[in-house]
Chain A
């Protein structure tokens, strides 16, 4: 599928900002299964300095600064992206999950990059509670993809998608206890549960199509930044992306912006401003197919 994505973030400040420094994760990654046909970032006011590069995880980053006083800051990313995630192997052909955990722990050829994602991170720390929640999906010897799909499906049954009950600093344990939250929360809980079993799991930020295919339900998390989980199935099968918010294995309705250990690694618009006073932010996201279906 080829999509056009348009993502606008607007900050409105009560007092002028004298100096702003931003780090943006707003350009979609180039992947074997995701071609970025065109992309551009437009910021207003005009940045006084702008550089682009890659971060440690291979994401595309834009660093910019604005040193003229401004009361609003607006940044828009526009990209045309062709995406088709690989079809995962049959679950019973994937290795037992314990083997995947052992391979990640050992590191070395074929596993060292995945190994990074089996350690705790700030927003997705493993612990007894998340381990206990995930454990029923991890019967001894169960093939990794079967375990992953089972856990992913349990989020749809156990959790309620509800905005306003969490923010980005809500601990995973609290999300787990209240069984409610938004896509970021489910993603963090699932990542923590996987890591507590030694399975490398990363946080993927991106978009899901705004209007569903005919006959399909409207997806949750559309109209805004979306997040889901990428989990490792061992050196032979690599990664599979799972969307616990929509109980999906990701195929061609998602566009990847960036991945990291958790949200803090890849916040789409991050920055430090001098001045500004109280501020408000609004975000608009649109992901539309560019071709007829």
Chain B
């Protein structure tokens, strides 16, 4: 960003005075106590972190955090109206260009557009072209533009965003957080709300469904948790009342598109695409067969489903297109272009090339057709790099565009000491309501231009953003849209709408959280004995038993468990287990990944709780180092985390499919752990069984209950009754199995073979206890015979888990692409 012209400031007029819209905001901010603005900035940072706007996952994502400045960017009512009209016109123009490129191509045929803009454009997707495109129009349904205000005071378009239009979720989140942290500021004037825009968008999406579809099913297609915009997709799916789906959740059958749910295939009428166009269908676009939905492109062509934006709309965000818009607007719309772009030239024109080469310092070079690539400032390049770029331009001039280097206006931002002006780019968002009618979001996302920011290209992964306030002249227009009559919807209470993938994730989230708790409990039990100075022989035996349990649970290696008690092998193994690369550390990572993947199914409170407690438990575990004390502390924190998740799930999740699978995972995991642990604990000669019984009570957190019932006498019958057969003890085997049976029945909507399997395992466990009690004085001997039976129960639980995985999660066989590798080359051995 260069240029000698003076910066224009959003807050100040040409004469050093404060522009009217800003006066009341400034007054409100001034009324804050000393340091109030800095404090607000810090509280905003914290709020974003707590709400988990960033990802839970480690790595670059959690570093790439968007921060929000407490001082908004203001747009007066008149200014907003002018921007909305101009951008709506631009959207209509881009739609007309797209309609031509994917249809008759008259603009190419008569030379109004050079061939390179279509045929060398990575966004021009040939499978999208067809005669008679009408049923897919408008191709453009949402649109965003990056604007800068140039020193002459006029807003100009820097980039068009016709495929992803990312950032809308951040804009919405900025508003929500700012209202929470700095409510005073909102009292300063009448700020138009964002909600009506999302309501209008929801209606517009519903209206896209084929005529007469009674309650259209809308799905937001996301690349999934790996996408840096996952948060935004999740957020939008909620705001727009659509199902959040990945490619693997959809299938095309008989030409129509369906969502794979627990109850079978459920039709989809409209797809809100938030993926790259070519990733929608591996049959027609070259790519990996594992992504996309085979047949989706043809379903679209046939009109069986609507997709917005149409897959090929990225073609219209080619930077070089800006050079042609002034001539195309009169031709395609019969209007002159209302808002100019930042001066942009296509270097395929000889004159343009000469101009740039003669005066390179004032230009940013961009790829002609790739709007996502960053721009290069010729002025800031090293001499050799600049020469090589200029040579490339001469060799393939059609591949480049040049945009005049601009000085964006500045806006006040919270600094360490009051407010500092910083340059900003404004992104505005529009949707197509119907036909030619476009509507702009009454707000936007302003981002502060950092030193290395080349303005153009993708949104950076991190940076400082600002809420954008559209002010209204008077308060009367702060009302919602006219109420639209929606036909009454059937009441739904089924669990069956849950996509199979989500159910799968929730089930494993339940299992892993429980597995983590069980591991922490075992580690703590071992540690309390290990750290007690000189252990008694009885304690040494208990340590050996616990080590066997730990090895069975996969927490430590078998060799460490078999090492003689008193050596350092076991403590070392325990310390290693919680390190990031250890098995317990790995559980944290799995849980974080699954929590992100099902985030749209969790309430905000639940996700925030999960995020915070997981972060803290995890960082405790990673800081353990070589300290056994710290390890005990980390185990307690981990157990508290797991218990907290269970509590908050019970209190916040509707008892539908989601909760059922989460809890089912937990119950089956716990039942397996109880059987495995008891099998180890009872695997001793009858006279020594007492210590096993004591450990059993400890590991099942049932010691206090036992004491209140039976005082201190330990006998096999009562102990095993409490931890295996008592249906009222939430730590008992029987409790897990009756809960699992109930959940399986609720999921299926009736008794089925899976319920029967679960219930039989519970009955058999109770039977074992009855046998022990019936043995009277020989209870200990009878109990010592149980390990084999318990191991059998553990195996049956594993089989139950496999069976329900097969039934509900419908593991699809892997997809393969044919015809692009060895397909037609019979003489050729298959490609490796």
Contacts and interface: CB of A to CB of B under 8 A. Distances in A.
B824 A275 contact: no
Main SS at interface, chain A: mixed
B115 A55 contact: no
A273 B119 contact: no
Contact of A109 (B111, B120, B825, B830): B111
Contact of B817 (A15, A19, A272): A272
A238 interface: no
A273 B398 CA distance: 39
Contacts of B820: 168, 264, 267, 270
B831 A265 contact: no
Interface stretch (B278-286, B404-412, B616-624): B278-286
A179 interface: no
Interface string A241-272: 00000000000000000000000110111111
B492 to A, nearest CB: 28
A268 B252 contact: no
Contacts of A272: 282-283, 289, 294, 815-818
Given A55-B127, A270-B819, A281-B823, A169 B286 contact: no
A267 B823 contact: yes
B108 A112 contact: yes
B302 interface: yes
Interface in A3-36: 9, 11, 15, 18-19, 21-23
Given A225-B824, A273-B815, A276-B813, A23 B284 contact: yes
A282 B115 contact: no
A89 interface: no
Nearest to A280: B830
B234 to A, nearest CB: 27
Contacts of B302: 51
Given A23-B283, A169-B821, A273 B816 contact: yes
A109 B109 contact: yes
Contacts of B348: 105
A137 interface: no
A9 B348 CA distance: 45
Contacts of A273: 815-816, 818
A201 to B, nearest CB: 13
A39 interface: no
Contact of B824 (A116, A265, A283): A283
A225 B298 CA distance: 26
Nearest to B131: A54
B105 A112 contact: yes
A129 interface: no
Interface residues of B, number: 53
Interface stretch (A76-84, A90-98, A159-167): A159-167
- Residue among A55, A109, A119, A164 with max Cβ neighbours from chain B (10 Å): A119
A51 B127 CA distance: 15
B255 A49 contact: yes
A147 interface: no
Contacts of B255: 49, 51, 65
A241 B446 CA distance: 55
A182 to B, nearest CB: 7
Contacts of A49: 254-255
Contacts of B119: 115-116, 119
A107 B824 contact: no
A131 to B, nearest CB: 11
Contact of A67 (B114, B116, B131, B253): B253
Contacts of B830: 167
Nearest to B818: A271
Interface centre among B282, B301, B812, B827 (most CB of A within 10 A): B827
A274 interface: yes
Contact of B815 (A67, A267, A274): A274
A267 B818 CA distance: 10
Contacts of A275: 813-814
Contact of B816 (A182, A276, A282): A276
Contacts of A15: 813
Given A115-B115, A267-B823, A269-B823, A105 B831 contact: no
Interface string B786-829: 00000000000000000000000000111111111111111111
B224 interface: no
Contacts of A163: 827-828
A270 B283 contact: yes
Nearest to B820: A267
Contacts of A164: 827-829
Interface in B739-757: none
B179 interface: no
B192 interface: no
Contacts of A9: 824
A63 interface: yes
Interface string B216-253: 00000000000000000000000000000000000111
B822 A281 contact: yes
A168 B826 contact: no
A100 to B, nearest CB: 14
Nearest to A224: B826
Contacts of B301: 53
A241 B820 CA distance: 24
A267 B819 contact: yes
B283 A108 contact: no
A157 interface: no
A194 to B, nearest CB: 16
B130 interface: yes
Given A63-B298, A275-B813, A270 B120 contact: no
A177 interface: no
Contacts of A281: 818, 822-824, 826
Contact of B116 (A109, A119, A264, A283): A119
14 contacts: A19-B253, A23-B298, A51-B255, A108-B109, A109-B109, A112-B108, A164-B828, A224-B826, A269-B824, A271-B817, A272-B294, A279-B818, A281-B826, A283-B826
8 smallest CB-CB distances across A and B, nearest first, come from A108-B111, A115-B115, A270-B819, A275-B813, A21-B294, A163-B827, A107-B115, A56-B126
Given A169-B831, A281-B818, 12 more contacts: A19-B253, A51-B298, A63-B295, A106-B114, A108-B110, A112-B111, A115-B115, A115-B119, A120-B120, A168-B825, A269-B823, A274-B812
